[in-house]
Amino acid sequence: MFVTYKVISAGVVVRPVDPRGTFRSCPGSGHIDTRNRSTRDDFRGVSCGLAGPADYFAAIDIGRRAVCHVAGDAA
Ligand SMILES: [Zn+2]
């Protein structure tokens, strides 16, 4: 399934994101491997050892893919 939507809110521009692969992509190292997902709920990066809730890491990965620009980011 391809998630297609565009939201402009609070200066954050969101672009369409293809969620395929997020369940096995490591947010720490970017390493993609089906073995990263040890169980349905648990994630453990085989490359870097990063471990935690699988859904949480998938959300981080999707968020990184989605946000391409933050207005006012001139600090
Ligand atoms: Zn990793």
Does a structural domain hold residue 55?
yes
Please give the model's pTM, rounded to 2 decimal places.
0.59
Does a structural domain hold residue 58?
yes
Over 50: is that where the pLDDT of 7 sits? no
Q: What is the structure's pLDDT at 27?
A: 82
Model confidence over 13-43: pLDDT tens digits? Answer: 666 777 676 778 888 888 999 999 889 899 9
Does a structural domain hold residue 11?
no
Residue 63 CA, ligand 1 centroid: distance in Å: 17
Does a structural domain hold residue 10?
no
Residue 32 CA, ligand 1 centroid: distance in Å: 8
Q: Which domain holds residue 26?
A: 18-65
Tally of domains in the chain: 1
Q: Could you identify the residue written with the tokens 């981080």?
A: 60
Does a structural domain hold residue 8?
no
Q: Which of 53, 29, 27, 22 is nearest to 40 (CA)?
A: 53
Residue 24 CA, ligand 1 centroid: distance in Å: 10
Does a structural domain hold residue 41?
yes
Distance CA 64, CA 49 (A): 20
Does a structural domain hold residue 72?
no
Residue 44 CA, ligand 1 centroid: distance in Å: 8
Model confidence over 33-72: pLDDT tens digits? Answer: 999 988 989 999 999 999 999 988 888 878 777 765 555 5
Q: Which of 30, 63, 36, 31 is nearest to 51 (CA)?
A: 36
Does a structural domain hold residue 32?
yes
